[in-house]
Amino acid sequence: MNKNELHMGYSYVMLLGLACAMLTTVAGINIFVLLLLLATPWFWRGFALEASQKTKTLQFLGLIFGICAWDVVTNLIAGYGLVRSLVAMQHDLRTFGFILVLWAMFSVVKVARFALFVLMGAFVAIATANLLATMGGVIKPGEYLWYTMHHLYGQMIVGFIFLLAQMLLVRPDLSWRAAVPMLALLASMFFASERRAGILLLVAGLPLWVLLNHKRFSIGRYRWWLAAAAVAVIVGAMNSSIVQTRMMIAVQEIQNFIQRDPIERANDFSSVGLRLQFYVSIWELIKAHWLLGVGSIQFADLFQQINLAMGTTEPQRFTNPHNEYLFILATKGVVGLLLYVGIFVQACRLAWVKQDEVQRNGLIMFVYLFMVSIFMNSMMVDMEEGHFTMLILLMFLAPNKLDLFKPKDSVEFRTKDVQ
């Protein structure tokens, strides 16, 4: 075995471990990412950006570097030292930093493709196991084989549902090889999870996915496929007691929050009620520091002080607003928010020039689902979903062309390229 084969083999083992650790703990994820970093020097040797995508790639990587640097600056402005500011940046934005370091590794098509399939395989296996355990009475409906598995039932599972649907649309001959895992993910989401996020993201993502594939759906047989899929999703949702119950609870919690006075709202610790109080209270902080933010180091203390003033009896709950846009705005100001949103806009611009239809549409769907989901959580700040998004950006953007499933007739439908 030569050195190149050894480095590739090592990377495959670490990626397999990373895929298995993705739904365990952040510590487990970080261990495998750090082990993966050990192989990066060999991938950077002789690395060169693809000429046709060099400008957009540098803009994308530059924005990532920019938000990391700005995070340090905001904490320096807040009065903290350079070392502490760098440590805080490493904690909060390490997922972005990993993208910069691992880019050369994932530009190798075999590495990116292996990572995607092993991650998809792990998720399908875990979702299926949870579904079978629920159907077999091993666990109650809405419970999980282990607690952190619930991270699967949001943007992760929905993103892979749309990716498998895209594969099936581009290559109908894949048949059961794409349909069976897609149906397993859907069934697990409807009947073996108590999270509302997955259902909401599926509904929110469907119009964009149809728009991205509107030329295909202009053909009669594809329209029938879309209609059948929509009916199946609706029937599944209507027959899922978990979906119905969780949606009713959400409506009730919103109504309860509206009817309460300010002090009662500050002590409403229901899932929806607590998030609504997060959103209300954080504006008091944003209004005073909207341009530059307060920095990430002192944010939790200031956020707790605001909610103590509003009457909460449990200030320890108020450390994160569970909305990434509001968190970035409060800690890094308008400048930070523009950089943050710019990263994902540029990711979509870079994806748009990709010739592989599955790669192009898959990345846009994953980014869209992430951008919607962070209205309800802060995910790039050292969470499982943040590390997952890091991998998605690397797998879909770093290689010039994934060629996951090339249509046999080599005819692809594209919208007009964005120059």
Q: Give one DSSP letter per residue of 353-387, joined into a string.
A: T-S-HHHHHHHHHHHHHHHHHTTS---TTT-HHHH
Alpha-carbon span 395 to 113, nearest angstrom: 7
In 3D space, the residue among 193, 197, 166 whose CA is nearest the CA of residue 402 turns out to be: 166
Alpha-carbon span 80 to 296, nearest angstrom: 11
Q: What is the pLDDT of residue 1?
A: 42
Tokens of residue 398, six digits: 């770093």
Which strand (E) or helix (H) includes residue 242?
helix 241-259
Going residue by residue through the chain, which has 419 residues, state the pLDDT in tens, using 9 for 90 and above.
445 778 899 999 999 999 999 988 888 898 999 999 999 999 998 888 888 889 999 999 999 999 999 999 999 999 999 999 999 998 888 899 999 999 999 999 999 999 999 999 999 999 999 999 999 999 988 789 998 898 899 899 999 999 999 998 888 888 888 889 999 999 999 888 888 888 889 988 988 998 998 888 776 666 677 677 777 777 766 666 666 777 788 888 888 888 888 888 888 888 888 888 888 889 889 998 989 999 999 999 999 998 888 888 888 888 888 889 999 999 999 999 999 999 999 999 999 998 889 999 999 999 999 999 998 887 766 678 888 999 999 999 999 888 876 544 433 444 343 33
Q: Residue 247, class by beta-carbon neighbours within 10 Å (0-12 exposed, 13-18 middle, 19+ buried)?
A: middle
349: which residues sit within 8 A by CB, 6+ positions away?
Answer: 56, 418
Q: What is the pLDDT of residue 416?
A: 41
Instruction: Report yes or no: 337 and 169 within 8 Å, Cβ to Cβ.
Output: no
- Cα-flanking dihedrals φ and ψ of residue 77, to 5°? -65, -35
Alpha-carbon span 236 to 226, nearest angstrom: 15
Q: What is the pLDDT of residue 389?
A: 92
Q: What is the pLDDT of residue 299?
A: 92
Condensed to tens digits (0 to 9), the pLDDT of residues 35-94 reads 999 999 999 988 888 888 899 999 999 999 999 999 999 999 999 999 999 999 988 888
373: which residues sit within 8 A by CB, 6+ positions away?
Answer: 154, 155, 197, 201, 379, 385
Q: What is the pLDDT of residue 237?
A: 66
Q: For residue 356, which amino acid is it?
A: D
Taking each helix axis from N to C end, the angle separating 94-106 and 82-92, rounded to the nearest 10 degrees, works out to 60
Q: What is the pLDDT of residue 222?
A: 65
Report the SS3 class of residue 192: coil
